[in-house]
């Protein structure tokens, strides 16, 4: 399984990606340090300016995996959720299935 997508571009100028530190969320730590299936987990994150790119009908983040298992945030986060920018915030989820 690949973790990337190759794109074909007719005009290479339209496919130039520029990474900006201010748009890159930072994961500071997780709580608890020992996790099991179906246990709750808190991610302490600083979303930086990435929240500014969120559309109204989107979740603040898409997929998070821990040891190959998806984390379910549906009980705590929805499309109206907003994570304060430029500060460390807890985001709670539950370890689910692969």
**Residue 1 in this model has a pLDDT that exceeds 70:** no
With bands split at pLDDT 50, 70 and 90, how would you rate the model's confidence at 3? low
pLDDT for the residue numbered 80: 86
How many other CB atoms are there within 10 angstroms of residue 82's CB atom?
Answer: 11
Quote the pLDDT of residue 7: 67
Query: For residues 34 and 87, is the Cβ–Cβ distance under 8 A?
Result: no
Handedness of CA 67, 68, 71, 72 (dihedral sign): negative
Report yes or no on whether pTM surpasses 0.75. Answer: no
- Terminal-to-terminal C-alpha distance of the chain: 13
pLDDT digits (tens, 9 = 90+) for 22-80: 888 888 999 998 888 999 999 999 989 888 888 888 877 767 888 888 998 888 888 88
For residue 88, the model assigns a pLDDT of 94
Show me where the domains of the chain are located: 21-95
Q: In the prediction, which pLDDT does 82 show?
A: 84
Distance between CA atoms of 8 and 82, rounded to whole angstroms? 34
| pLDDT at residue number 35 | 85
DSSP at 87? S
- Could you tell me how many helices (H) and strands (E) the chain has, helices first? 0, 5
């Amino acid at each position: 399984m690949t973790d990337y997508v190759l794109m074909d571009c007719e005009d290479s100028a339209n496919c130039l990606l520029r990474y900006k530190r201010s748009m890159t969320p930072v994961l500071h730590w997780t709580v608890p340090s020992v996790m099991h299936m179906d246990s709750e987990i808190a991610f302490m994150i600083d979303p930086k300016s990435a929240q500014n790119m969120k559309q109204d009908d989107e979740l603040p983040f898409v997929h998070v995996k821990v040891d190959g298992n998806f984390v379910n945030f549906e009980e705590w986060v929805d499309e109206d959720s907003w994570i304060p920018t430029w500060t460390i915030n807890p985001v709670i989820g539950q370890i689910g299935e692969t």
